[in-house]
Amino acid sequence: MGSSNLRPNSIGVNYGQVANNLPSVQQAVTLVRSTTIGKIKLYDANATILRAFANTNIQVTVGIANDHISSLTNPTSARSWINDNVSPYLPATQITTICVGNEVLTAADQSLLSQLLPAMENLHSALVSSNLQSQVKITTPQSLALLSNSFPPSAGAFNPTIAQSFIKPLLGFLSRTNSSLMVNAYPYFAYRRDPHNISLAYSLFLPNTGVNDPNTGILYSNLFSAQIDAVYSAMAKLNVTDVEVGVSETGWPSVGDPDEVGVSVQNAMTYNQNLIYYIVTNPGTPLRPRRPINTFIFALFNENLKPGPTSERNFGLYQPDGSAVYEVQELAKPSTSPPSNNGSSSGGSGSAGGYSPPNGSSAGGYAPPNNGSSSGRNNSSGGSGSGAGGYPPYNNGSSSGSNSSSGSSGMGAVGGGNQTRIWCVAKPGTDRSLLAGAITYACGVADCSAIQSGGSCFYPNELVSHASYAFNSYYQRHGRNYWNCDFQNNAIVTFTNPSYGGCIYPAN
């Protein structure tokens, strides 16, 4: 269950304000609109920010600080809060969610535990009074410290001292109101605590040998999905199976103190780039396959007044002056004017083995790679090189950390040295004007007989389907390197088998 008006496969970002050098709100809005960010999460209900996001088509989550929860146990105060902080901005500002508190159930102030649910119920009642309950959902972000056990994921369990008394009633409310449980899930912190037993590659969504759950036989390929499934397992132990898990915060710092393991610009870029691919391609988790994960990266900007170690002030995607801390290719909006090369393509014979694009599609506009290689292969910034189109797109054998982490060095072929099968498919939302030419290129040097008329993968006779098969055929034949799954940033690698019916996608 979850809010039906959310865009679960668009990426969200936390817009924090713990700094004295941030750009103006209007500059921040302009920056966000220049990217593919589709959702913003605030830690309050800042009126200036809410007005600035009006008519932008950016969805907004507003927050309520822990020290305001007590007053909202009064129904009148809750109605006033909705009337002051939500109703005036709708529908111009697309407020979709209210996050009540932050990590309340593990907070030092134990009085908040008994106040959280009444406050949420009062806020929901106020939404009902204004007929906004379908448009705006109530949730609460919680720490993974809520779990008394998280490994293996199937053994996930909530802290028994509060499971029945506080967590189960909270989950009941989320179920009744068609909302989700939000958690702050940081593979970085898990890795930092135990770098000798947790692989850096496993933490960064990079190819690795995986971690087996002995109770289910599931082989987890990344820590992010394992953390989420641990929460699903914990909820199942309370007989709750209809509440979705979202991620209110996740990220990786780019700068830290000398004793902060795994902190680097490269690792931050790798984590967030691969996270975005993971969210937008929607593999779900092993316990909830193909189920969207509503996710917010922490954070939009580096915030110079956050307390704690240096890393706490360096989780941002952007510097306060608006420049990128590192390039995240998937945040760049695609060009509205596809490049043209007079329709020529230089792959093999160019005949595509007799391939004819469906529906009379043109094969023009596709610029093939240079002999199958990528100018971006050694581009550590991940900015302009064309080889970063696959998931996971970044490794280059250079991820920094204190351990050798299985699968984190000398990658070569994506998935090389491990048993994970990987396919290459057309990227969601890809530029269809380039697909026919890309198929022509791929099929000029790979076997595409299955998508010819009468072939096992001819139907559906549709460009994206045919492109996925052609891209995968090329990728498998050319060594399964990440730069072999690019096609002008129109392809992406996946761990989910795209085969269907009698159409089998090969995988080495």
Enumerate the active-site residues.
103, 249
The helix (H) or strand (E) run that includes residue 140 is none
Q: Is 123 helix (H, G, I), strand (E, B) or coil?
A: helix
Cα separation of 483 and 384, whole Å? Answer: 13
Tokens encoding 154: 């199937």
- Are 300 and 42 in contact, with CB atoms under 8 Å apart? no
Cβ contacts of 408 within 8 Å, gap of 6 or more:
199, 200, 201, 204, 206, 208, 395, 399, 401
User: How many CB atoms neighbour CB 111 within 10 A?
Assistant: 9
β-pairing, 245-250 vs 39-41, is unpaired
CA 382 to centroid of chain Cα atoms: 17
Taking each continuous run of H as one helix and of E as one strand, the counts in the chain are: 11, 17
CB-based contacts of 128-136 (< 8 A; 24+ apart in sequence): 129/79, 130/82, 130/83, 130/87, 132/82, 132/86, 132/87, 132/90, 133/177, 134/4, 134/5, 135/5, 135/90, 135/95, 135/96, 136/86, 136/90, 136/95, 136/96, 136/97, 136/98
Please, what's the b/e burial string for 158-172 (b: 16 or more CB within 10 A of its CB; e: otherwise)? bbeebbeebbeebbe
Which tokens sit at 467? 């492109």
Note whether 70 and 115 are within 8 A (CB). yes
How far, rounded to the nearest angstrom, does the alpha carbon of residue 130 sit from its chain's CA centroid? 33
Instruction: Say if residues 14 and 249 touch (Cβ distance below 8 Å).
Output: yes
User: Angle 463-477/432-445 helices, nearest 10 degrees?
Assistant: 40
Nearest to 10 by CA among 30, 40, 55: 40
**Identity at 167, one-letter amino acid code:** I
How is residue 475 written in tokens? 């990728």
Q: Which amino acid is at 444?
A: G
* Dihedral angle, C-alpha 180, 38, 252, 497, nearest 10 °: 70
- d(C-alpha 308, C-alpha 311), whole Å: 8
Beta bridge partners, 61, equal 41, 97
Cα separation, 473 vs 460, whole angstroms: 17
Which residue, 275, 272, 257, is CA-closest to 318? 272
